[in-house]
C-alpha cells in the first residue's frame, strides 16, 4: 500500500511538472546553496569605524548579490533571511539562540550542496584588513571549499588591496556544523579598517566581491560533481 501511494505521488508530480523543467531535472538534480546573511534584527553585528554602518545590513546586501549570481549560474538558492529582521520571534526568551536554531532548521530542510555564511570582521588593530574564510575543522570538504573561496578572494582582493593573502582558518562555529555539505563563513573585510569599510560601502566593489565568491563556489562544486 505504501508503494502504491508513493507511486501515485510520483505520477502526480510528473503530470504537474512542466515538461521542460522535468527534462532538466531528470538529467541534473537541482543543486541548492544556502546563503546565510549573518546577524539581523536586534543583533546588528559589528559596526563601521567611520560611518557606523551595521554589519547585518552589509551582510544582507552581499548575500543577495551572491544569491543572484548563484541563481544565474543555475543553482537553487535558499536564504536564511531576506529582510533586515532577525529570525527570532518577539516572544522568544533567548532571541539569539532562537535565531541560530531557525537558521539551522532552514539549512537542514534545504538539503544543500554548500552553505555560505556572509559576515564582516572587526579587530582592535585598525590596520588589520582583508577577506578571511572559515571552515569547520572536522569537515575536509568544508576546508576544500574554504580554500577555493579564500584563494579566489586572495587573488581578486586581498593581494591587490591589502598586499597579502590569507589562509582559510578552522573555527568552531554553530553555522558551520548544520550540514554534511561543505560550509564556509566568508568574513568579507574588516569594518574596523577605514579602507575595507569604504570598499564594502561601495556597490560596485560589493558586486565584484560577491561575484568572486560565486566563481569559487561554482568551480568547486563543478569539480566535485
Which residue has its beta carbon closest to Zn ion?
Answer: 119
Q: How far apart are CA 165 and CA 63, in angstroms?
A: 23
Q: Is 203 exposed, middle or buried (0-12, 13-18, 19+ CB in 10 A)?
A: exposed
Beta strands at 132-135 and 114-121: parallel, antiparallel or unpaired: unpaired
Is residue 45 involved in binding Zn ion (CB under 5 A)? yes
Nearer residue to Zn ion within complex by CB, 32 or 132: 132
CA angle 191, 193, 197 (to 5 degrees): 50
Nearer residue to Zn ion within complex by CB, 45 or 48: 45
Q: How far apart are CA 72 and CA 99, in angstroms?
A: 29
Is residue 40 involved in binding Zn ion (CB under 5 A)? no
> CA nearest 106: which of 184, 183, 29, 35?
35
Range list of H helices, 73-182? 95-110, 140-153
Cell of residue 113, nine digits? 550542496
Of 36-44, 85-93, 136-144, 167-175: span binding Zn ion (CB under 5 A)? 36-44
Is residue 38 involved in binding Zn ion (CB under 5 A)? yes
Nearer residue to Zn ion within complex by CB, 45 or 112: 45
Nearer residue to Zn ion within complex by CB, 181 or 191: 191
Residues 82-121 contacting Zn ion, CB under 5 A: 119
Least spacing, CB of residue 175 vs Zn ion, in Å: 10
Least spacing, CB of residue 202 vs Zn ion, in Å: 20
Nearer residue to Zn ion within complex by CB, 46 or 162: 46
Interface residues with Zn ion (CB under 5 A) are 38, 45, 119
Amino acid at each position: 500500500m505504501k508503494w502504491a501511494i508513493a507511486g501515485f505521488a510520483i505520477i502526480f508530480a510528473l503530470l504537474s511538472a512542466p515538461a521542460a523543467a522535468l527534462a532538466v531535472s531528470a538529467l541534473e538534480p537541482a543543486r541548492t546553496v544556502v546563503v546565510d546573511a549573518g546577524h539581523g534584527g536586534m543583533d546588528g553585528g559589528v559596526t563601521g569605524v567611520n560611518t557606523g554602518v551595521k554589519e547585518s545590513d552589509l551582510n544582507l546586501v552581499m548575500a543577495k548579490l551572491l544569491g543572484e549570481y548563484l541563481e544565474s549560474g543555475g543553482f537553487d538558492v535558499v536564504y536564511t533571511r531576506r529582510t533586515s529582521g532577525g529570525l527570532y520571534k518577539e516572544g522568544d526568551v533567548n532571541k539569539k539562540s532562537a535565531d541560530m536554531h531557525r537558521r539551522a532548521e532552514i539549512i537542514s530542510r534545504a538539503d544543500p550542496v554548500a552553505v555560505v555564511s556572509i559576515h564582516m570582521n572587526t579587530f582592535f588593530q585598525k590596520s588589520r584588513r582583508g577577506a578571511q574564510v572559515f571552515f569547520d575543522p572536522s569537515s575536509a570538504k568544508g576546508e576544500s571549499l574554504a580554500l577555493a573561496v579564500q584563494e579566489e578572494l586572495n587573488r581578486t582582493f586581498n593581494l591587490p588591496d591589502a598586499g597579502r593573502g590569507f589562509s582559510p582558518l578552522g573555527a568552531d562555529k554553530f553555522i558551520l556544523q548544520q550540514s554534511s555539505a561543505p560550509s564556509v563563513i566568508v568574513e568579507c573585510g574588516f569594518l574596523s579598517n577605514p579602507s575595507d569599510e569604504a570598499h564594502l560601502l561601495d556597490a560596485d566593489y560589493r558586486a565584484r566581491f560577491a561575484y568572486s565568491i560565486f566563481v569559487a563556489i561554482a568551480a568547486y562544486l563543478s569539480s566535485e560533481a
